[in-house]
Amino acid sequence: MSEDTLIKEVTGTAAFRQEARRWLDQVAEPVDADRGWGTGDDSVAVFENWTVEEERQRVGAMRAWEKQRFDAGWGALSWSAEYGGRGLPKHYEQIFAEETAGYDVPKPNELIAVTQQLIAPTIARWGTEEQKQKFLRALLRTDLLACQLFSEPEAGSDLAGVRTQAVRDGDEWVLTGQKVWTSGALVAEYGEAICRTDPTAAKHAGLTAFMVPLDAPGVTIRPIRQMSGGATFNEVFLDGVRIPDSARLGPEGGGWRVALTTLAAERLDSGGLGSGTIDKVLALIKHLGRDLDALEIDQVADLYVRSMSGRLTGLRVRAQMAAGADPGAEASVGKLYATETMRRTSEVVAHLLGPRIASDTGEWGMFSWSEHLLGAPGYRIAGGSDEIQRNIIGERVLGLPKEPTQ
């Protein structure tokens, strides 16, 4: 990058930040320098611990905020004007997120992120022109929400092993099977489903992707009660669900490539999970009531560096996707990096808090870290297990021999 280009970029981002702050000042209340310490929700949970009623209420508030900022020109920043965006470089979305963190606004939950950051880019990559016109603007504005119908009881990270069948019947497809661990299915309007359409083909070659309306006859959604009390995961049963061929996403038999686009975006989104928590760790340190020793300072510094590195890795992959390239193994690197950062975060915070992470003393922002401690290990499985990510890196980056199939 030339000096003139660098100066232009720095000037442009500074002006963008000022513009964003002016708009945020008009529509939201700022939080104090400690990011609102002592007020509001102190949750740092990795997985939402909501009842069905709480999920509907909170997602409704999030949708209202997403629509407000979209209509004001602050949503879909890196998308083209055709879909309500401004055509800005991808890193401007991170800049806006950083500015928004200083204001009391609803934070997107997993379903909002899946809709905007996973499903929408997949449709942009694989959808027909009619599908793009139908879905993209609606998904980016959250007029429609979409979840992933990927995992199955006997095929979690092994997506190529799915058994849900889609059988062609004229201009329609008939879907039969079961999906599981589907976040947000009760409040979503659509699900991106990966189904087996050719049982005689090789595992990866016999799959096709569909956009399934979740209010279609034959769709049954059952919440899965978590041991923590929440119910944001679901089983989704497809019992002879009929959908038109126009609901097919990508070519027949091309479902694996469609799924890889979504999975790469999911791993990219997961790759940012460990980076945003550092601000909350720093706020916690300010209110511990004691100074950190030399070892603790070193551990927190390591978390900060890891968090910034994670953000930069995410920007790199987003830039590739914005340029029209298929996401590479960098997304898997980011996902592995994020799960390790989350693990280290739990360990550091548990050390800093001591008994306060295990016993609720009533202090704001203390015992709430127990949900992070208990939830972080789950992301070693979510979005593709750590073992799957290592296989991808080993085979596609390092050129190691593939694992035996037998």
Closest by alpha carbon to 329, among 311, 310, 313, 307?
313
Cα–Cα distance between 269 and 335 in angstroms, integer?
8
Is residue 166 within a helix (H) or strand (E), and if so which, with residue range? Answer: strand 165-169
Cα–Cα distance between 33 and 44 in angstroms, integer?
18
Cα–Cα distance between 124 and 140 in angstroms, integer?
11
Cα→Cα distances 71→74, 77, 139, 355, Å: 7, 12, 13, 47
Type of residue found at 94: Q
The residue whose two tokens read 């009929």 is 242
One-character DSSP codes across 36-55? STTSS-----SS----HHHH
In the set 99, 152, 192, 266, the catalytic residue is 266
The dihedrals phi and psi of 386, each to the nearest 5 degrees, come to -55, -35
Yes or no: say if 123 and 249 are a contact pair by the CB < 8 Å rule. Answer: yes
Residue 266 annotated as catalytic: yes
Cα–Cα distance between 228 and 55 in angstroms, integer?
15
Cα→Cα distances 202→62, 252, 392, Å: 42, 14, 19
Cα–Cα distance between 224 and 217 in angstroms, integer?
21
**What's the alpha-carbon Rg for the chain, to the nearest Å?**
22
Q: Which residues are the active-site residues?
A: 266
